[in-house]
């Protein structure tokens, strides 16, 4: 799901576990991570929200959360940041992290 400067706060508030991929179109590693994020969205459809936030189009949110390198994936639980992951990781890594925060 796409999140943006206007929807991020409601998304975080209304969902127990949220993973947000901070990315940009011009970022090669972000494009590599994209299919993994899409698979996670499908895998965790009923359990967690998996979102993507384009930092070029949403500078307010990326600045607010201090995103300085991309790709950055931030996991939130009950509206609070619980983990920040910078760079590429494999799908199993993100799956394990999500399962940890869901339990």
- 45-61: average pLDDT: 96
Rounded to 5°, angle at Cα 38 from 35 and 42: 140
Query: CA-to-CA distance for 92 and 68, rounded, in angstroms?
Result: 25
- 36-59: average pLDDT: 97
Does 59 map to a domain?
Answer: yes
C-alpha distances in Å from residue 56, one per residue of 31, 36, 50, 70? 14, 21, 19, 11
Residue 11 backbone zone (phi > 0: left; psi -120 to 50: alpha; other: beta): alpha
User: What pLDDT shows up at residue 80?
Assistant: 96
Q: Is residue 41 very low, low, confident or very high in pLDDT (cuts 50, 70, 90)?
A: very high
Does 47 map to a domain?
Answer: yes
Does 1 map to a domain?
Answer: no
- 20-26: average pLDDT: 97
Does 3 map to a domain?
Answer: no
What is the residue range of 88's domain?
8-102
Q: Is residue 6 very low, low, confident or very high in pLDDT (cuts 50, 70, 90)?
A: very high
Does 53 map to a domain?
Answer: yes
CATH number, domain with residue 48: 3.40.30.10
- Which residues are known catalytic residues? 27, 30
**Total domain count, the chain:** 1
């Amino acid at each position: 799901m796409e999140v943006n400067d206007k929807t991020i706060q409601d998304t975080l508030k209304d969902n127990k576990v949220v993973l947000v991929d901070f990315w940009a179109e011009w970022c090669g590693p972000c494009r590599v991570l994209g299919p993994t994020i899409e698979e996670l969205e499908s895998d965790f459809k009923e359990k967690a929200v998996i979102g993507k936030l384009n930092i070029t189009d949403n500078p307010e949110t990326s600045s607010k959360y201090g995103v300085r390198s991309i790709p950055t994936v931030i996991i939130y639980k009950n509206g609070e940041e619980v983990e920040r992951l910078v760079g590429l990781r494999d799908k199993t890594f993100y799956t394990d992290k999500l399962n940890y925060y869901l339990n």
